[in-house]
Amino acid sequence: MGLHMKTKSVALLFLVAGTVATASELVERIVARVNDRLITSSEFQKRVDVATHGPKGNSDSAGLRKDTLDDLIKEKLIEERAKELAVAATDAEVEEAVERVKRQYNLATDTEFDAALAQSNLNREELKRQIRQTVTIQKVISRDVTSKLDVGEDMLRLEYERQKDALYRVPEQARVYEIVIRFPASDPAARERAVNRLEQARAKIAAGTSFPDVAREYSEGNAASRGGDLGLVSRGELLPALDAAVFADPPKEFPPPVILPASAHLFRVMERKPAGHRPFDEVSEDLKKRIGENLYDKRFTEYIEKLRREAFVKIYDPDLAKAQEKKS
C-alpha cells in the first residue's frame, strides 16, 4: 500500500558540503532529487533494508528497490505540498502519538521505552522525527484526498445492485432439528441396531411426543441437550446427503431418515426461507467502506501523479532510472 496512511520510518538526509561541490565532495551519493529535496544513498538503503525484512519482504530485489524509491519520492512530494500549505504536526500531536506507541507495546517506564527503541536502532528524538513526518503526511492526504471522497447514497445503491449477488447473497435456509444415532462403520450389527433405534424415535414422534423430547432421549448428537435444535441451517452447510434431505423439493417437515456410513439421522425441518440478499440498509456501511477504499486508491494515485507532473524529479541511479522509464 506504500504511503497510504501508514507509519513509515525515513532516514535523515545528508546535505551537500560546500557551495560549489564536486562529486568527490559530496557527503554521500544522491539517489534522486525531488525539487530541492534529496534522497540519499543511506536513506534509500535503510528503507530497502526495512522493506526486505518486513512482513511483505520481496525476493525480487530489483522490484523492491524500485517500489522503495517510488515510496520515497511520494513522501518527498507530499512534504513539498505540506510546506506549500503550511501544514505540520504540532508538538502535542507528536507527544500524543508517542504515548500511543508506549501503550501499544505496554512500555510502562522510560527505561523500557528507551530499551525498546534501542532494539530498533532508534532514540526518542528519531522516533519523534519520524512521527512528525508521518502525521504531517497524513494531514496533507486528509486535506487533499480523503476529505474530497464523495460516497453518496445513489452511488451506494448502484454498487449494491451491481455487487449483491457476489457479496451479499444469502442461501436458502431452514430451521432444523436433528436426532442422530452413531455406530461403528465396520459393524453391520451396530448399524442395524442404530437404524432400529432411529425407527423407535420416529414412531414416538408419530405418536405425538414432541421432537425435542425424543431428541433429548435418543439423540447422540451435539445438539441433543437442546432438543436437537441446530438453529438456522443454510443450503450447502451440511454433508450432501443430509443437505438433500433437509432441502428436499417439495419441502418436507419430516424427510425420510438418512443413513450414512457411521450415523443415522432424522430431521424435522421448519421455517424454510428462500435464497435472497442481505438488505441494503444492513450492508450500506460495508459498501461505503469498500467503495471508499477503492475510490481512495484511485484518487491517491491520481493525486501523486499530479504532484509528480508539477515537480522536478531526477533519478541519478542508472538502474533505478531505467526501471522508472520502463514503468512509465
Alpha helices in the chain (DSSP H): 41-52, 61-85, 91-104, 110-119, 124-144, 153-167, 188-206, 211-218, 240-246, 280-309, 318-327
Coil, helix or strand at residue 87: coil
156-175 pLDDT, tens digit per residue, is 999 899 989 999 999 999 99
When pLDDT is averaged across residues 126-131 and rounded to a whole number, the result is 91
Which pLDDT score, from 0 to 100, does residue 88 have? 94
User: Using CA atoms, how far apart are residues 127 and 114, in angstroms rounded to an integer?
Assistant: 11
Q: Find out if CATH 3.10.310.50 is the number for domain 170-277.
A: no
Q: CB pairs under 8 A, 24+ apart, for 248-256?
A: 254/205
pLDDT single digits (tens) 87-117: 999 999 999 999 999 999 898 888 999 898 8
Q: Which residues, in sequence order, are bridge partners of residue 111?
A: none
How do residues 198-208 score in pLDDT, each as one tens digit? Answer: 999 999 999 99
In this predicted structure, what is the pLDDT of residue 20?
A: 34
Rounded to whole angstroms, how far apart are CA atoms 5 and 278?
31
Closest among 81, 1, 72 to 42, alpha carbons compared: 72
Write the pLDDT tens digit of every residue in 47-65: 888 888 765 555 568 888 9
Rounded distance, CA 220 to CA 206, Å? Answer: 20
Calpha distance 64→45 (Å, rounded): 11
Asked if 9 contacts 50 with a C-beta cutoff of 8 angstroms, the reply is yes
**Average pLDDT, integer, range 135-154:** 89
Over residues 131-148, the mean pLDDT reads 92
Query: Between 192 and 122, where is the model more confident?
Result: 192
Q: Which residues contact 173 (CB under 8 A, 6 or more apart)?
A: 232, 233, 234, 235, 272, 273
In angstroms, the CA 91 to CA 114 distance is 20
Please report, in angstroms and rounded to a whole number, the separation of the first and last CA atoms in the chain. Answer: 19
- Cell matching residue 299: 484518487
Q: Which residue has the higher pLDDT, 15 or 271?
A: 271
From residue 25, give the alpha-carbon distance in Å to each of 9, 28, 193, 260, 318: 28, 8, 94, 83, 20
**Nearest-5° Cα angle at 93, 87 to 96:** 165
Measured CA angle at 112 (ends 108, 117), to 5 deg: 120
Map out the domains of the chain as residue ranges. 170-277
| Confidence bin at 24 (pLDDT 50/70/90) | very low
Backbone angles phi, psi at 295, to 5 degrees: -65, -40
Question: What 3-state DSSP class applies to 23?
Answer: helix
Other C-beta atoms closer than 10 Å to the C-beta of 173 total: 20
Asked if residue 193 has pLDDT above 70, the reply is yes
**Residue 207: its pLDDT value, please?**
95
CA distance 68 to 65: 5
Residues found in the chain: 328
Q: Quote the pLDDT of residue 14.
A: 25
- What's the pTM? 0.57
- Per the prediction, the chain carries an average pLDDT of 86
Q: Cα torsion for 82, 86, 91, 95, to the nearest 10°? A: -30
Between 323 and 285, residue with greater pLDDT: 285
pLDDT for the residue 151: 81
With a pLDDT cut of 90, the percent of the chain lying above it is 63
pLDDT in tens, 277-320: 999 999 998 998 888 888 889 999 999 999 999 999 999 988 88
